[in-house]
Amino acid sequence: MLMSVGSLAAMGLTLGSVLGIASRYLAVEENPIEAELQAMLPGSQCGQCGYVGCAQAAVALAKGEAPVTLCPPGGKATAEALAAKLGVKVDLSQVSDSGPQIADVTEEICIGCCRCMKVCPTDAIIGAAKQIHNVIREACTGCSSCIDVCPTEALGMVPIPVTLQHWTWPKPASAHH
Amino acid sequence: MGFLDRFLNTPSWGVHPEDHKRPAADVPLRLFPSPGRVFMPLHQHVGGAARPIVLVGQKVLKGQLIAEAQGNISAPIHAPVSGTVSAVGDVTAPHPSGLPFKAITIDSDGADRWLEAEPLADPFAAAPEEIARRAALAGVVGLGGATFPSAVKFALGKRLKVSTLIVNGGECEPYLSSDDRVMRDFPDMVVDGARLIMHSIGASEALVGIEDNKPEAIAAMRQAAVPYPEVKIRPVPARYPMGSDKQLIQTLTGKEVPSDARAAEVGVLVHNVSTCAAVHKAIRLAQPLVERIVTLNGGAIATPGNVYAPLGTMISELLAFVGLKEAPSRLILGGPMMGTPLLHDRIPIVKGASGILAFNAAEAFVPDAGPCIRCGSCTKACPMGLLPLEMAARIRVGDLEGAEAYALGDCISCGCCAYVCPSHIPLVQYFSHAKGELTAAERTKLRTDATKRLAEAKSARIERENREKAEAAAKRKAEREAAKATAAPPSPVVEKTEGASA
Amino acid sequence: MSQTYGNPVAAPHTTTTNSPARIMSLVMLALAPATLYGFWLYGWPAVYLWLITVGAAMLGEAFSLRLQNRPARPVLLDGSAALTGWLLAVSLPPWAPWWIGVFAGLFATMLGKQAFGGLGQNLFNPAMVARVAVLISFPVQMTAWVAPLPMFSLGAPGPLEGLLIMLRGVPPAFDAVTSATMLGYAKTELSRGIDLFESGLHAPALSFIGNRPGSLGETAAWLIAAGGVAMIGLRLITWHIPLAMLAGIAIPAAILHAVDPARYLDMGTHLLSGGALLGAFFIATDYVTSPNAPRGQLIFGFGCGVFTYIIRTWAGYPEGVAFAVLLMNSMTPIIDTYFKPRIYGRDRKGKPLQTTN
């Protein structure tokens, strides 16, 4: 009996050590993930995540230093995609997904100070000094950088209106509740 | 058709729901009296919406152009009644969302005065392009429901040297009979229109496919086609969706349209019988498309039948015209298999409105969905040979790419699968949802790419401006230093700058 | 007049009146003649066993639903648990003790079906899963076959006696009744070295009268076949799986019997004995666990038939239908992936057709 116990234990120890050595010395460097993560982010370099741009945010995500919920304009969809890519579990119930939003100028209050134009990462605000500004809908990414700098609070975030062309059928409710 | 004939020729795909076409199909066509007000939408076709060219307060005649086509794939809109334009605003679209779209409101003066226009004297002597041009100006679009601008299709057919025109008299949807009535009451118009289209595209023959549940229409069309041997009447087995162009092409010619090609690439072009009649009216009578036959059927309708009504008429007025036995439990634009559910009846009829169905509670009842029992009835029924149960299983868990791998894009949304499902699973809704989500994802991707480009453009602009400022500053500094070096007193420098600003 | 009609409901706005309950009821109706004949043939113990097995299957389903906090009644009414129990009951030895019925019934619905997620989610046929589990766990009781003792004949147990037999087991008075099935007998004799000519088997055609012992589903072979053909006529199943499975049994049997008649049973015996017909028409054709497309179904059926023959002839068990069906069930997803129907406008591989114009 001692023979069988001994031989099995010896095999286990040997094979376990082999696996341990292999995992240390034959490990694969994970670097292409950074480019993939960066592709998932919106790309407007708005800085709301706290990093200088989307590339730096991707590096931090790849290293595991940043949470997957770091991107407010990306919303729940981006957080889910990042979590799936990185293989992390994340509780998204707290992430408020207000849906895609864009900035909107209340023209009566706008004083034409041009401060919002300077911070918009995609040049989505048009206007000139002392002229009323306006937001080009197609270019706005919803990063909200302009909201913070407006001195008169003329800028606000509004949900993107649903049009006939963009409406889709909702998924039917499943039979299993 | 004899039993053996039917047994051998009935296709294995598709379904055969209860017809429900009669007695509505047999009731003579009724003329809807001119409505007091019409709401003519600007977007009644596939492609770009038309642009209004009339002003509020302007007087218009029936058939007058009120909105121009925009872009290569578009169609113009004409006034369906004579009267005064009272508004250009929003009206609820015949769409499941109930969202609005733009329409021109015209208050009728009751006179129904047509605009005087010159019909084409000898169309068969004219150039083929002339027929297409006039059809385009008349706003003719596919009246089977697809509403694709017909002239664009004629041009495509001519370019690809289509040899066979298929005239679609299938009307496979239950309850509907507007095409049936067009063939019974105006067969000469249909045949003439078909011949005009043949001339326009350069086709040598026309095959008119009519389902065999319409014997009167077949007889009338045969009669009308007697002088024209190139127009051949071909009865086809009544099976839904025989009127779908891919299935009709296969049944009539045996050819299969490849999944990434159009019908024209296999040498056929399909047009609905009502479209042919509209082409006839546009060319021979110079009447643009402003009216159509609409079937009003369903258990809630008091006197079901077909009504010839101007476009833009409110559905509520049509329902009042035929009378309602009870408040409808569901209102559908089109047939029961593919029709659009309407949220209320304050919606105008459009060019593609072949029928309005007002269902009573019994007809509208659909049992609750149960779990998929993997019986495979949907696979047997699918006319495209897809696996609806597999696609739905993947969509249910959010694997949209997996569903796409099962050729979700080939689905024609005919509804056969959901019709036969014993568990009454809303399969078509799963597929519509998935197709919508995939399109939205495509759009998001395009938006992300555009965003990146815009952000890069902005950085480039800032860089450029900074660079220019630095260069200008360096240049001014160099000039100042040069001036300081050459001049002794400071005044010449002052003069120089003053001169510069003058 | 303006009126709203609620939330948008997707097309189609009409549907057939079919339902899972209707399908299950029709299948049970197709099974009924054979089952009733079996009741008459084997007497009251068989009736009680059937009742207990079906009851246990439905109880297992109800219990599983309760565990999921779902209402049990609507699901039980779709008839799938009852059908599973019924198919299981007709594959058990008719005089098996009550606890075999209970164990098998509970196993079938709880572990064979609900554990996978309920109707439509299981990979393996629940009735066969339970039968195999019981066969492996209790081989003695599961191979204790009895010769037919028609219900009102001399010596047959009455209702009360039948109940006692089921509850307490077969008493010594009925010892002479125990016997082997045709396949079991053939295998045992062959293993003892006695070939088929000598073991003197009766002509298989008399199987339907019930001269040889078996389960309820075995003995009334022709009634099972009639029920199966009726189901094909009612379009509940197609001919692909039954024909393929019977071919899978018949072809090897015919070939090998021609080669060595003393060692290998002939085609007729194979088709009419054991669960061949029950398996071909009722068990292998189960919607959930069989492939969806016709070509895949033919392969599946043929595989079931061939495996059945192999297990019957060369493996340790005299009857192979249950194992064969389970083995092919595991292949169903692969078969489904590689044998899809051809899509309109595409070739067999899924690429768009080439235009000829």
What are A114-156's pLDDT values in tens digits?
888 888 888 888 888 888 888 888 788 888 888 888 888 888 8
pLDDT value of position B2? 54
Asked if residue B357 lies in contact with residue B339, where contact means CB atoms within 8 angstroms, the answer is yes
Q: Pick from A139, A163, A175: which is nearest to B369 by CB?
A: A175
CA distance linking residue B254 with residue C182, whole number of Å? 54
Selected residue of A38, A171, A174 to mutate for chain B interface (largest B Cβ count, 10 A): A171
Whether the CB of C140 is below 8 Å from some CB of chain A: the reply is no
Question: Nearest residue on chain C to A172, judged by CA atoms?
Answer: C10
Q: How far is CA B104 from the centre of its chain?
A: 19
Closest C-alpha to C210, from A24, C202, B379, B130: C202
CA distance linking residue C90 with residue C211, whole number of Å? 17
Tens of pLDDT, residues C88-112: 999 998 888 899 999 999 999 999 9
A-contacting residues in C 6-35 (Cβ below 8 Å): 8, 10
Backbone φ, ψ for residue C346 (5° rounding): -130, 160
> For chain A, how long is the longest CA-to-CA vector?
94
Backbone φ, ψ for residue B264 (5° rounding): -60, -25
Mean pLDDT confidence for B86-91: 94
pLDDT value of position C203? 43
Tens of pLDDT, residues C186-206: 777 777 776 766 666 544 444
C19-39 as b/e: b if 16+ CB within 10 A: bbeebbebbbebbebbbebbb
Asked if residue C74 lies in contact with residue C101, where contact means CB atoms within 8 angstroms, the answer is no
Residue B61 has pLDDT above 50, yes or no: yes
Helices marked H in chain C: 20-42, 44-67, 72-76, 80-89, 98-106, 126-137, 139-142, 159-168, 182-191, 196-199, 216-219, 221-233, 240-259, 267-272, 276-278, 294-314, 321-338
Q: Which residues of A touch C8 (CB under 8 A)?
A: 169
User: Cβ of B359 and C20 within 8 Å?
Assistant: no
Q: Identify the architecture of domain A32-86 in CATH.
A: Orthogonal Bundle (1.10)
**3-state helix/strand/coil string of B406-472:** CCHHHCCCCCHHHHHCCCCCCHHHHHHHHHHHHHHHHHHHHHHHHHHHHHHHHHHHHHHHHHHHHHH
Whether the CB of A122 is below 8 Å from some CB of chain B: the reply is yes
Residue C5 has pLDDT above 70, yes or no: no
User: Cβ of B261 and C355 within 8 Å?
Assistant: yes
CA distance linking residue C144 with residue C97, whole number of Å? 10
CA distance linking residue B241 with residue A137, whole number of Å? 42
On the question of a cis peptide bond just before residue A100, with omega within 30 degrees of 0, the verdict is no
Q: How far is CA B215 from CA B170, B182, C347, in A?
A: 12, 14, 37
User: Cβ of A172 and B433 within 8 Å?
Assistant: yes
Q: Where in chain A is the domain with CATH 3.30.70.20?
A: 101-159
Whether the CB of A42 is below 8 Å from some CB of chain B: the reply is yes
Type of residue at B423: S
User: Cβ of B97 and A167 within 8 Å?
Assistant: yes
On the question of a cis peptide bond just before residue B11, with omega within 30 degrees of 0, the verdict is no
Domains of chain B from N-terminus onward? 1-22+125-289 (3.40.50.11540)
CA distance linking residue B142 with residue C172, whole number of Å? 84
Q: Where in chain A is the domain with CATH 1.10.15.40?
A: 32-86
| Number of Cβ atoms within 10 Å of the Cβ of B486 | 9
Tens of pLDDT, residues C227-239: 999 999 999 999 9
Residue A34 has pLDDT above 90, yes or no: no
Q: Based on the number of CB atoms within 10 Å of its own CB, is B418 exposed (0-12), middle (13-18) or buried (19 or more)? A: buried
Handedness of CA C122, C123, C127, C131 (dihedral sign): negative
Q: Pick from B93, B95, B371: which is nearest to A175 by CB?
A: B371
DSSP B82: S
CA distance C354 to chain B (A): 7
Q: How far is CA C91 from CA C94, C129, C134, C289, C319, in A?
A: 8, 12, 11, 18, 11
Whether the CB of C160 is below 8 Å from some CB of chain A: the reply is no
- Record the pTM: 0.85
* 3-class DSSP state of B240: strand
Q: Identify the architecture of domain A101-159 in CATH.
A: 2-Layer Sandwich (3.30)
pLDDT value of position A99? 64
Tens of pLDDT, residues C316-346: 888 889 999 999 999 999 999 999 999 999 9
Selected residue of B394, B424, B448 to mutate for chain A interface (largest A Cβ count, 10 A): B448
